[in-house]
Amino acid sequence: MPSSDAVERALRLERAGRRDAARLLLESALKSEPDNIEAWTLLAHLAYDLQDPSRTIYALEQVVRLEPDNLRAQEHLHYLTGRTSAPPPPDPVSPPPIEAPRTRRGVRWALGAGLAAILLAGIGSQIPALRARIVPVQAEAAPAALYGNSPSASAGSPLLAYIPRQLARLTRSEQTSPTIPTPHPTPAEPPALVDYQPLADALEAHRRYTAVKSGYDLGIGFVDVATGQVINIEGDTRYHAMSSFKGPLSAYYLWLLERGQIAEQPGDRDHLARMLDISANTDTSCIFQRVGGIAPFNDWLADQGLTRENNFVLKWQEWDCADAGSYHPPIDWRYSRGDAVLGLPGGSELLACPIPQLPCDKAFAPVELAEWYARLYRGEVIGPAYRDILFSLMHGYYGQALFMQNQAAAPGVTVYVKGGSFEATDEYRENFVNEAGLVVTPYGTFALTVFMQQNPEWPGTWPISEAARIATEYFEQTHLTTVGSPPPAQGDQ
């Protein structure tokens, strides 16, 4: 069997919960193609066992042997063995057998999923058959970027595209899969500040030309991750969050997992992936159940430094989690009835954004969310291993991420985003679209959030895409002037 088919079949088996079958399939394929880097990297993920990681070590050694400059493989190999150098050429034998895993599934996934998502991201795929399968699915699934809180958000054909799109994240096709940069330690000298006033002026002019002229709301938050400089364009007030809260909710789940406060349960990884990839609302209810409900999530957001009055979820009642019976997250009434200790007003005052007809039961201030994403990238929210798991699920392709839809594909630019949308109905007569996350360029990284509400055009996403284009071009131009040419791409070294 060609190893390209084996990798795809193994991924499908893994998604179906048949990890042992997927592992055996890859091991069999590697006997005939011992230099297939995609198979070795996926095997490193599938074989991970905390108590006996020898098979994963062996697979990582093969990745480093085949691709000596793969820093991600070196990092994980160093974590497991204390060394990063490539081993001598291996004997032409099968990987050493390992007994059945003896550790908690949650711990195995915490590193194992990170291995698959991180290592394969930097591997250049040479599988034409996979490209033929992947690219049409990506183009067909592009509207999934607009899936949000509408009643049909978790139904329909996007689920059918899920497995091929996950495979696309693990093999580089025409649309490059993410290479997740690791933030470097803080240098002795702080990075030079950038003159961002021209960018602030350009974004404000864009807001006036679009939102002010047509009578709708557009809020923008921008943060240079390295310098911490912030641009706030009408972004310090409440906007309806739609599904953009699912990015921080996923981080909260991983934050609890990282600290041992919860253990990963069967199905958790699928709930996370579908919640972020196609914004599935029933899976969101399951994640709320896993983290203890809405109120603990709101308290965590406040602990993260986001203001309570502008960043919260009141309720999530329309969709139930059927993992164990039927679960609907309890309403966090503090954000409607008030809480004197927390300083929250009553009388549903916080729900008035932007109109009474559509209560703001899920809210974010764009600039605060952008500052949170900058902290997430710097590793200040969750550790790098868990952060990279999250980023692998948030990766947005050019055909999907709104931030990239008004820009030509550029080498070395990657986005990690989560947004949401709602199309006006007879009952709720307003349109909502937003996107939030990180834009990683060869020159550095910035966080960006753009929230739009009451735009009479649907989906009317051009103002969001254009704001992202303005920010990306200015960021790259100023950093090119400061730091010169970017380092060569991995394949050019």
Q: How confident is the model at residue 399 (pLDDT cuts 50, 70, 90)?
A: low
Residue-averaged pLDDT of the chain: 77
For residue 307, what pLDDT is reported? 97
Average pLDDT on 202-226 reads: 97
pLDDT of residue 49: 66
Written as six digits, the tokens of 306 are: 């986001």
Distance CA 382, CA 254 (A): 7
Within 10 angstroms of residue 198's Cβ, the number of other Cβ atoms is 12
Q: How many helices and strands (H and E) does the chain possess? A: 18, 9
Please give the model's pTM, rounded to 2 decimal places. 0.64
Q: Of 52-61, 192-201, 409-418, where does mean pLDDT reach its minimum?
A: 52-61
Give residue 132's pLDDT: 28
Three-state DSSP state, 487? coil
pLDDT at 370 over 70: yes
Whether 441 and 412 have beta carbons less than 8 Å apart is answered as yes
More confident residue, 262 or 407: 262
pLDDT band for position 88 (50/70/90)? Answer: low
* pLDDT (0 to 100) of residue 288: 96
Task: Tell me: pLDDT of 424 over 80.
Answer: yes
* Tokens, residue 487: 């380092």
422 has pLDDT over 50 = yes
pLDDT over 80 (residue 392): yes
Of residues 317 and 420, more confidence is placed in: 420
Q: Which of 17-21, 281-285, 348-352 has the lowest mean pLDDT?
A: 17-21
Q: What is the pLDDT of residues 439-493, one digit of tens each?
A: 999 999 999 999 999 999 999 999 999 999 999 999 999 988 655 554 443 333 3
Q: Is 373 helix (H, G, I), strand (E, B) or coil?
A: helix
Coil, strand, or helix at residue 418?
Answer: strand
Q: What is the dihedral of CA 121, 145, 468, 191, to 10 degrees?
A: -40
Q: Which of 174-178, 214-218, 338-342 has the lowest mean pLDDT?
A: 174-178
Q: Which residues pair with 449 in a beta bridge?
A: 221, 436
| 310: pLDDT strictly greater than 80 | yes
**pLDDT reported for residue 213:** 96
Q: What is the mean pLDDT of residues 422-434?
A: 87
Structure tokens at 277: 């990839």
**Domains within the chain, CATH numbers bracketed:** 3-152 (1.25.40.10), 197-492 (3.40.710.10)
The contacts of residue 222 (CB under 8 Å, 6+ apart) are 196, 199, 203, 230, 231, 233, 370, 446, 447, 448, 471
Least confident among 392-396, 397-401, 431-435: 397-401
**Token duo for residue 329:** 């997250």
Query: Does 352 score more than 90 pLDDT?
Result: no
Q: Is 124 or 355 the better-scoring residue by pLDDT? A: 355
Q: What percent of the chain has pLDDT over 90?
A: 47
Strongest mean pLDDT among 34-38, 105-109, 165-169: 34-38
For the ranges 6-10, 136-140, 264-268, the maximum mean pLDDT occurs at: 264-268
Give, in degrees to the nearest 5, the angle at Cα 327 between 324 and 331: 155
Most confident range (mean pLDDT) of 174-188, 235-249, 324-338, 351-365 is 235-249
Residue with tokens 């864009």: 206
The Cα 162–Cα 167 span in angstroms is 9
Q: Which of 236, 235, 199, 240 has the alpha carbon at shortest distance from 218?
A: 235
- Residue 159's pLDDT is 27
Q: Is 84 exposed, middle or buried (0-12, 13-18, 19+ CB in 10 A)?
A: middle
Band the pLDDT of 93: cuts 50, 70, 90.
Answer: very low
Tell me which of 445 and 79 has the higher pLDDT.
445
Q: Does residue 331 carry a pLDDT above 80?
A: yes
Residue 231 DSSP SS3: strand
Question: pLDDT at residue 172 above 50?
Answer: no
Residue 44 has a pLDDT of 83
DSSP string, 117-151: HHHGGG-----HHHHHHHHHHHHHTGGGGG--SST
Band (231; pLDDT cuts 50, 70, 90): very high
Q: Does 164 have pLDDT greater than 50?
A: no
pLDDT value of residue 490 = 36
